[in-house]
Amino acid sequence: METQDVVQKPPRTEPAKSTLPQPGRPVPSRAYPGALIVVEGTDGSGKSTQLYLLKRWLEIGGYRLHFTEWNSSPLVKSATRRGKQRRLLTPTTFSLLHAADFADRCERQIMPLLQGDYLVLADRYIYTAFARDTARGCSPRWLRNLYRFAPVPDITFYFRAPLDVAVNRILSGRPKLKYYEAGMDLGMSYDRAESFRLFQARILEEYDKMVDSDNFVVLDGTIPVNKLQKQMRDIVASKIELKRFAPRAEEAE
């Protein structure tokens, strides 16, 4: 059954029921045939490098996939840029603008691709908003409501690195931290590096709180890149039926 009927779509463990995302209603992973893998973690935790390597592995294997990044919707970009440059953003509007950005990608890319049986890889997801915006003082309850239209990931990798390791990776590689990136809007310190450190500490704390409630797969961001990648690939292979996203027979031959 699994290999014979090649002209048809690959067999699905769960039938696709809904055809459209319902804004404001949670989207369980059973509602669509695709699969969603997300990476989360503080700046400097190594998550983007690892997701890139995972993506390369899957691309080389010919799997159907789409990669999406936090804060990248062209529709909302100019507003975000203006808000940051002119420092107009408050915790609430910062949060809403990022939610608008995410909603745009969600409605126009993530959901349609999940419906269309793709493997979707997301560099940062709603947990970034939960951690960062809660660290800024937004109500966790309000935030959970704000993002409840988001599909629940099949795997959420949480790359955990000690605060000093992550912060030093960023500070050594980047000449100047941006205002909001460093959490300067919180008024914790006039020194950007110090403000960044304090802000990241809060974010790390918020991430740690979600490990159990949101089923994070915790990975150690301090071990060598290739070893970490091996772990990541093993987990993906064990949790997701990758065969379903493999090139269809008629395309491969």
Residue 213 is a binding residue for another protein (CB under 8 A): yes
- Distance between CA 241 and CA 245 in Å, rounded? 8
Find residue 220's DSSP bridge partners. Answer: 160
Residue 141 is a binding residue for another protein (CB under 8 A): yes
Residue 79 is a binding residue for another protein (CB under 8 A): yes
Give the DSSP H or E segment for 155: strand 155-160
Q: Which amino acid is at 233?
A: R
Give, as ranges, the residues between 53 and 72 that touch another protein (CB under 8 A).
none
Stretch that binds another protein, among 61-69, 141-149, 171-179, 217-225 (CB under 8 A): 141-149
Residue 113 is a binding residue for another protein (CB under 8 A): no
CA 243 to centroid of chain Cα atoms: 23
**Which of 16, 100, 163, 171 is in the footprint of another protein by CB under 8 A?**
100
Residue 217 is a binding residue for another protein (CB under 8 A): no
Give, as ranges, the residues between 26 and 55 that touch another protein (CB under 8 A).
26
> Rounded to 5 degrees, what are φ and ψ at 158?
-115, 110
Residue 211 is a binding residue for another protein (CB under 8 A): no
- Distance between CA 36 and CA 24 in Å, rounded? 19
**Which of 36, 51, 76, 110 is in the footprint of another protein by CB under 8 A?**
76
Give me the 155-194 binding string for another protein, x by CB under 8 A, dash otherwise: ----------------------------------------
- Distance between CA 85 and CA 152 in Å, rounded? 33
Q: What is the DSSP string of 193-253?
A: HHHHHHHHHHHHHHHHHHHHHTTEEEEETTS-HHHHHHHHHHHHHHHS-GGGGSPPHHHH-
Where does this chain bind another protein (CB under 8 A)?
21-26, 73, 75-76, 78-79, 82-83, 86, 88-93, 96-97, 99-100, 103-104, 106-108, 126-127, 136-142, 144-150, 152, 209-210, 212-215
